[in-house]
Structure 1
């Protein structure tokens, strides 16, 4: 396999804080610090071992309180692009060990309304009822019109992911199931075709990761997981404009399959393809998004995603197990950044072989994603149990 600079970077630490619908006694800072303490414990590292921080608004405070400056830092809210940025900083010698962390608590207080990060705040869309569920529903409806995708297929995705969370002891919705597709379809309509149980929930929590060089990883007690590839697609700012399936630039690539270019780039970096992926830790804001991603990433042809997921392939024991901890529908949805990092954390758990539930036997390659066509972006990362 041709070497890529990412291949010399490993994820050596992962941690979730406690997760709950509401975390009494916590704010975003305290819950983030809890995740930081846990990830340091996971690796056996101390603050003095860290020389890079990527923690959004917590980057400055963490650097100060950990007394580990001067340090490389990134102030953007963490997600796959920030993990890739941290990996690039390590690969180019700007730093050698980076802490990535984020948390959210006490932000969503007006619970009679949708979560604040899903509400547009300008006159061109707010007056028409535009919010995240409606944005993603527009994308789903277009696919249903073009290809005949059915509500039953969407409900099969939702039931599969929610049952993964039902079984996970640390999931916010642990023990709430099991669910059948009929249960999903019986829940109230939110934005056609999405019923309530087709949609992500909201919760509070934090998580953290530590990345370092391949050489340093060999001296740590945890099993390192390597970055095989990663890339990002964007068609504009999220949650500001009504999304369109056919939105496209000069390249001809359209928003309906955002993430296709990122997946192709990621696979090329690792000389891999969809058939090499053992576990699909896909971002699950709404049920249709999983169907769309399987098509965008090349697991099946355009228009075939609905049929693709109906034979059990995405469930435990299937050939493409998806979002195995319950994702945003059931495990946790702690603000705009936390759940995006959690897809990578679950991918690392799968490759370490340490999942509390739904462990894929001998998993070697995990594909993780963020975003979706309703948000006008999709980010992709490939993780490997071995370095190329």
Structure 2
């Protein structure tokens, strides 16, 4: 058997329709629709699947096994990592080691966030650190961003520029929930109401509903499939501690993902300059700057200047979040992390619905401390 015959590749990538509210839908239905779409994209039948990692809604414990039973798959490997780069990396390792041959990764959400007057339920877990003191996700992520701005004397306009780029990408994307809204300027971002200093409303992710799924298999199996395979070149994953329990100061989280990125590039045999497109988890605007610093693209404290002057726009040297991300495309609890991978696959195939990066051959996908590199 050739040495690279078990090289993990992505052969299916699919998003369902995304919307602020999908009337009459459930998390299980949109997740199932995403699975069917990804398998159809891959040209595979569910009977060929022997690995699953599925998260419908917030069913972290039983989602995969329940879906495996419902799909009539008798026996299957179960992945346990969070959606997005982490689960892709885990599935790729299982495929490479021969544990399984065809893995479906999927997540979806609908009908969970019904109270639009409050932040999404996954941002306010029920424990003593949340209910008494209000350390919800926006406030938590704002802590390190605010410290960064003060430590390095960064103009907030430079942070707002990041959000304007992402939202304008979504405004051009017909699949995005915020399609047609824009264009946005950095001042528009700063003029939106303050949520948790330094973040204004338009610096933050929205909430939406929909599903997303991926199918991975071996390079050898992919030769017989109609879809263009995208290779998982390398990856890394790291975390720092319990969320909502310890304060995420800049010194604790500022460099999250640095060693993961080093490992990803080492495995892939690539240099930083080889990446054509950056599909980064954009839950808050400053996080994009943090990624570029943590991943070694610029010195610490220089990220705001690094992303300026069109660098991160379509046509720039480091285009980011090309579908509009969680700020403008969709934010469906957990499946939005899969959407970062789906969009990277589309970019490398040349099939994205908008904002195609010409000649894209390599993509970096990141969500917090999880990093993967993909190649066409």
Q: Secondary structure at the match of 2:105?
A: strand
How far did 1:4 drift? Answer: 10
* TM-score normalised by L of structure 2: 0.95
Structure 1, 202-211 or 101-110: larger mean CA deviation: 101-110
User: Where do residues 238-387 of structure 1 align in structure 2 (5 Å cutoff)?
Assistant: 238-247=243-252, 255-335=253-333, 337-371=334-368, 378-385=369-376
User: Where do residues 1-388 of structure 1 align in structure 2 (5 Å cutoff)?
Assistant: 8-56=7-55, 57-247=62-252, 255-335=253-333, 337-371=334-368, 378-385=369-376
Question: What is the root-mean-square deviation in Å for CA atoms of aligned residues?
Answer: 1.7
String of CA shifts for 1:295-317, please: whole Å, max 9, x gaps: 11111111110111111110010
Q: Secondary structure at the match of 2:250?
A: coil
String of CA shifts for 1:312-350, please: whole Å, max 9, x gaps: 110010000000000000000001x20111111111111
CA, structure 1 residues 5+299, in 2 after alignment: closer, same or farther (shift >3 Å)?
farther
- Give me the whole-angstrom Cα distance separating, in 1, the residues matched to 2:15 and 2:107: 10
Structure 1, 229-238 or 74-83: larger mean CA deviation: 74-83
* TM-score normalised by L of structure 1: 0.92
Match in the other structure for 2:58: none
Structure 1, 201-210 or 230-239: larger mean CA deviation: 230-239
Query: Is the Cα contact below 8 Å between 2:6 and 2:98 reproduced in 1?
Result: no
Query: Is the Cα contact below 8 Å between 2:51 and 2:76 reproduced in 1?
Result: yes
Query: Is the Cα contact below 8 Å between 1:135 and 1:242 reproduced in 2?
Result: yes
Match in the other structure for 1:374: none
String of CA shifts for 1:239-276, please: whole Å, max 9, x gaps: 343211223xxxxxxx2110101000100001112111
Query: Is the Cα contact below 8 Å between 1:5 and 1:88 reproduced in 2?
Result: no
Unaligned runs of 5+ in 1: 248-254, 372-377
CA, structure 1 residues 202+54, in 2 after alignment: closer, same or farther (shift >3 Å)?
same
How far did 1:6 drift? Answer: 11
- Give me the whole-angstrom Cα distance separating, in 2, the residues matched to 1:4 and 1:314: 37
- Give me the whole-angstrom Cα distance separating, in 2, the residues matched to 1:222 and 1:345: 14
How far did 1:69 drift? Answer: 1.9
CA, structure 1 residues 241+125, in 2 after alignment: closer, same or farther (shift >3 Å)?
farther
- Give me the whole-angstrom Cα distance separating, in 2, the residues matched to 1:239 and 1:359: 37
Query: Is the Cα contact below 8 Å between 2:129 and 2:244 reproduced in 1?
Result: no
Unaligned runs of 5+ in 2: 56-61
Q: Secondary structure at the match of 1:257?
A: coil
String of CA shifts for 1:94-113, please: whole Å, max 9, x gaps: 11010111111111122222
- Give me the whole-angstrom Cα distance separating, in 2, the residues matched to 1:62 and 1:125: 32
CA, structure 1 residues 329+266, in 2 after alignment: closer, same or farther (shift >3 Å)?
same
- Give me the whole-angstrom Cα distance separating, in 2, the residues matched to 1:131 and 1:170: 29
How far did 1:126 drift? Answer: 3.5
CA, structure 1 residues 369+76, in 2 after alignment: closer, same or farther (shift >3 Å)?
closer
String of CA shifts for 1:177-226, please: whole Å, max 9, x gaps: 11111111110111111110000000011100000001011111111000
Query: Is the Cα contact below 8 Å between 2:84 and 2:340 reproduced in 1?
Result: no
- Give me the whole-angstrom Cα distance separating, in 1, the residues matched to 2:183 and 2:261: 32
Query: Is the Cα contact below 8 Å between 1:313 and 1:319 reproduced in 2?
Result: yes
- Give me the whole-angstrom Cα distance separating, in 2, the residues matched to 1:15 and 1:29: 16
- Give me the whole-angstrom Cα distance separating, in 2, the residues matched to 1:294 and 1:14: 26
